[in-house]
Each structure stands twice: as structure tokens, then as C-alpha cells.
């Protein structure tokens, strides 16, 4: 009996040491990504074709925003960090942390590019784009998207693009049966057929709660300055194009209010400087009263907070999609997707300044490649 007890104590001690060493490793390798980081404006896309065409006042253009969910969220996918409840109160919880396979991640990414190119936007904003990560089996999603868009736009002069990292991590051994693994680079991709002059990454305030901070993103937005000319071809100022991805796991919306405050200060300053401003992306707020519009067979999740127009500074508005009453942009991921069953809400869209004429449409992809639907914006600079 003494020998069995001794062996058991040695095993327990070994487990404690291993777990302790792993926790130290995760904590020691954790770091926030630099704030106010100047981003490269890339004009060396795969074909070598870059765009030097400038935006003009009075012309109509299209922009597109799409959270691609790192190529994992097909209809069978549920995410381990998400919980919810069916209408009858039955609790639900997601299971997976990775895409089903490398083929699945690659296929879903190809579906994303097809959805974008079918709308032929002049500008495209993407969130949750993996460059190198175990969760997406090292599928270079940035490369796939750029290759497709460069092929499309290359006939007319190519593209410019910027990329900001918002997630890198040590090897994460969770969930134990199929862990997230290591994420080397993932983030926000902005692609434009028109010239981007400069770009900068701004860090959002985020939660420091343990252990959420190790699994959640280093939330950020990118400020891309695009020169604009008037009818005579003379410089007229900049379109300040912002790509954003706000916090999701924020019950009560405290962190998101801080993030909106920072974003509001930045865009108000740009407007005062005489620029046009468009903010596109995943706001992780329920837009246009959508929080109770698409209940389907589930209850509203506790993290869903309504977007309040009074969060925006003067001269700005959220563009509500023309089809906002019939098409949402995000589905509950605590269960696999079945049309008409999952809770849905609109989290994605565009904020514009009042010198931008704009309308938008939520594109119904039926969540075939992501837990989000994309949004298309038509706009002109007044």
C-alpha cells in the first residue's frame, strides 16, 4: 500500500510540475502587440501589379467587409468558447477550436474569395485571416485572398494591401482533445484597387482577465489613408478607411464601450481635419435593432449588446443595410448551423461620416464558409 501511495504521489507531483511549467511557458511568452505600429503598404502582390489609381470625389465605389472566421466555420462547426441556450432553456456549448481539416480550411477560404469576387468590390476588409496557425492547418489565407483579388484586379492595374496582426500565441493545449495549438500570425487584411498612402495599427483596450486574455484576440483597428482628387485631378484630402474587429467575450459590454470611445475620438479628429471617414468590420455589437430580430429557435446570448448611436461622435452614422430586416450577418456558434434554428444577429457593417453618401446590403451566403455573412457598401465622397 505504501508503494502504491508513493507512486501515486510521484505521478501527482509530476503532473503538477508539468502543468506548472506549461503555465509559466504560456505566461512568459504572452505579449501585447505594439500600439501605433506603422504598417507596410504592400504593392508587390503576387503578379507584381500595384495600383496607383486615386479615388475621386463624386464617383461611386464599393467596399466589402467579411469576417472569415479563420476558414473553420462551415455548417458543421461549433466553437468551444461559445455557449448559449435553446428556446426551451436547454443549454448549448460549442466543441471545436480548429477547422475540421486542412482541406476544410482551404475549401472555406476559397469559398470566401468566391463570395468577394462575385460582388467585385473596389475595397475589401477582412477579419480573422490566418497566415500561419495550427487551428487552420497553416493554410495561408491571406495569400489565397490576395492571389484571387490580384488576379481579378491585375487586368486593371493590380491592388494595394495592408495587414495588421491581432492574434499570436504560444501553443495552447485547449481543448485537450483537439487543442488550438500555436498561432504565429492572424489578423486584419485590407485590399484596395485604389492607392493606399499610409497605414497604422491602433490597439484597442482589451480584457486582462485570466485565462481569457490568452485565448482571445489582441483587438485592434487599422487606419488606412487613401488620397482623393477632385474632378480636376487636384488633391482634395484623404479617405480615412478603418478596418476594425472589436471584442466579443465581454458580458455587459464594458470593454466594447472603451473601444468605441477610442474609435470615436480617432474618427472625430479625422473629420475635423477635413477628411472623409469610413469604418468597416466586425463591431461585435447588435446593429440596427437586430438583437431580438432573428431569435429563431434560441435565446439571445448574454454577450450580445445593442449598438447605440449615441456612442458615435457628431457627424457620423452607422449605415443600416437596406435588407437588414431579412438578412443578418452572424450566427450562434454554440451549435452547428441549421437554417432557421441558430440565433442570428447583425454585427458587421460600416460607419461613415456625413460627407460620405452611402448605402449597404447584407450578402446572404447562408454561412457556408464562415459564421459571418459579408456586407457590401456603395459610397461616394461628397
How do residues 77-131 score in pLDDT, each as one tens digit?
999 989 999 999 999 999 999 999 999 999 999 999 999 999 989 999 999 999 9
Average predicted confidence (pLDDT) for the chain: 90
Mean pLDDT of 326-341: 98
Lowest-confidence pick of 50-54, 95-99, 214-218, 377-381: 214-218
Residue 26: the pLDDT is: 56
Indicate if the pLDDT at residue 251 is higher than 90.
no
Using only C-alpha atoms, the chain has a radius of gyration, in whole angstroms, of 22
Grid cell 472623409 in the structure block, residue:
276
Residue 210: the pLDDT is: 62
Mean pLDDT of 148-177: 79
pLDDT band for 7, please (50, 70, 90 cuts): confident
pLDDT band for 175, please (50, 70, 90 cuts): confident
Q: What angle do CA 358, 362, 363 make, to 5 degrees?
A: 125
Lowest-confidence pick of 192-196, 262-266, 281-285, 377-381: 192-196
Mean pLDDT of 358-369: 98
Instruction: Please name the residues in contact with 154: beta carbons below 8 A apart, sequence gap of 6 or more.
Output: 47, 49
Q: Provide the 10 A C-beta neighbour count for residue 110.
A: 17
Higher pLDDT, 171 or 191: 191
Higher pLDDT, 251 or 189: 189
Cα four-point dihedral sign 328, 333, 337, 338: negative
Residue 243: the pLDDT is: 98
Look up the pTM and report it.
Answer: 0.90
pLDDT band for 46, please (50, 70, 90 cuts): very low
Residue 381: the pLDDT is: 98
Determine phi and psi for 175, rounding to 5 degrees: -65, 150
Residue 185: the pLDDT is: 95
Lowest-confidence pick of 21-30, 173-182, 335-344, 355-364: 21-30
Residue 47: the pLDDT is: 46
- Taking the alpha carbons at both ends of the chain, their separation in whole angstroms is 85
Indicate if the pLDDT at residue 375 is higher than 70.
yes
Residue 177: the pLDDT is: 82
**Cβ contact 317:377 at 8 Å:** no
What is the percent of the chain where pLDDT is above 90?
A: 71
What is the percent of the chain where pLDDT is above 70?
A: 90
Residue 29: the pLDDT is: 55
Amino acid at each position: 500500500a505504501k508503494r502504491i501511495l508513493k507512486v501515486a504521489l510521484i505521478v501527482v507531483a509530476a503532473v503538477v510540475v508539468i502543468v506548472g511549467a506549461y503555465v509559466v511557458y504560456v505566461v512568459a511568452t504572452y505579449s501585447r502587440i505594439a500600439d501605433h505600429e506603422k504598417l507596410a503598404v504592400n504593392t508587390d502582390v503576387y503578379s507584381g501589379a500595384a495600383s496607383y489609381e486615386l479615388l475621386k470625389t463624386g464617383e461611386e465605389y464599393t467596399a466589402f467587409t467579411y469576417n472569415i472566421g479563420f476558414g473553420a466555420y462551415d455548417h458543421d462547426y461549433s466553437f468551444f468558447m461559445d455557449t448559449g441556450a435553446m428556446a426551451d432553456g436547454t443549454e448549448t456549448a460549442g466543441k471545436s477550436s480548429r477547422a475540421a481539416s486542412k482541406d476544410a480550411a482551404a475549401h472555406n477560404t476559397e469559398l470566401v474569395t468566391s463570395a468577394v469576387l462575385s460582388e467585385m468590390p473596389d475595397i475589401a476588409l477582412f477579419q480573422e485571416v490566418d497566415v500561419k496557425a495550427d487551428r487552420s492547418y497553416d493554410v495561408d489565407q491571406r495569400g489565397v485572398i490576395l492571389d484571387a483579388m490580384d488576379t481579378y484586379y491585375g487586368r486593371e492595374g493590380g491592388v494595394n494591401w495592408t495587414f495588421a496582426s491581432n492574434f499570436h500565441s504560444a501553443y495552447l493545449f485547449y481543448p485537450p482533445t483537439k487543442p488550438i495549438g500555436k498561432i504565429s500570425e492572424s489578423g486584419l487584411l485590407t485590399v484596395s484597387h485604389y492607392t493606399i498612402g499610409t497605414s497604422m495599427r491602433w490597439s484597442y483596450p482589451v480584457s486582462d482577465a485570466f485565462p481569457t486574455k490568452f485565448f482571445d484576440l489582441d483587438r485592434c483597428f487599422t487606419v488606412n489613408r487613401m488620397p482623393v482628387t477632385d474632378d480636376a485631378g487636384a488633391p482634395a484630402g484623404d479617405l480615412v478607411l478603418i478596418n476594425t474587429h472589436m471584442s466579443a467575450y465581454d458580458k455587459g459590454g464594458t470593454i466594447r464601450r472603451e473601444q468605441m470611445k477610442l474609435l470615436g475620438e480617432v474618427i472625430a479628429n479625422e473629420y475635423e481635419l477635413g477628411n472623409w471617414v469610413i469604418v468597416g468590420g466586425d463591431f461585435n455589437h447588435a446593429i440596427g435593432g437586430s438583437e431580438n430580430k432573428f431569435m429563431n429557435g434560441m435565446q439571445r446570448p448574454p454577450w450580445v449588446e445593442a449598438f447605440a448611436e449615441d456612442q458615435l461622435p457628431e457627424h457620423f452614422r452607422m449605415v443600416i443595410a437596406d435588407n437588414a430586416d431579412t438578412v443578418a450577418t452572424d450566427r450562434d456558434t454554440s451549435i452547428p448551423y441549421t437554417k432557421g434554428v441558430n440565433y442570428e444577429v447583425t454585427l458587421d457593417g460600416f460607419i461613415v461620416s456625413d460627407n460620405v453618401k452611402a448605402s449597404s446590403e447584407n450578402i446572404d451566403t447562408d454561412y457556408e464558409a464562415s459564421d459571418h455573412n459579408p456586407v457590401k457598401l456603395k459610397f461616394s465622397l461628397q
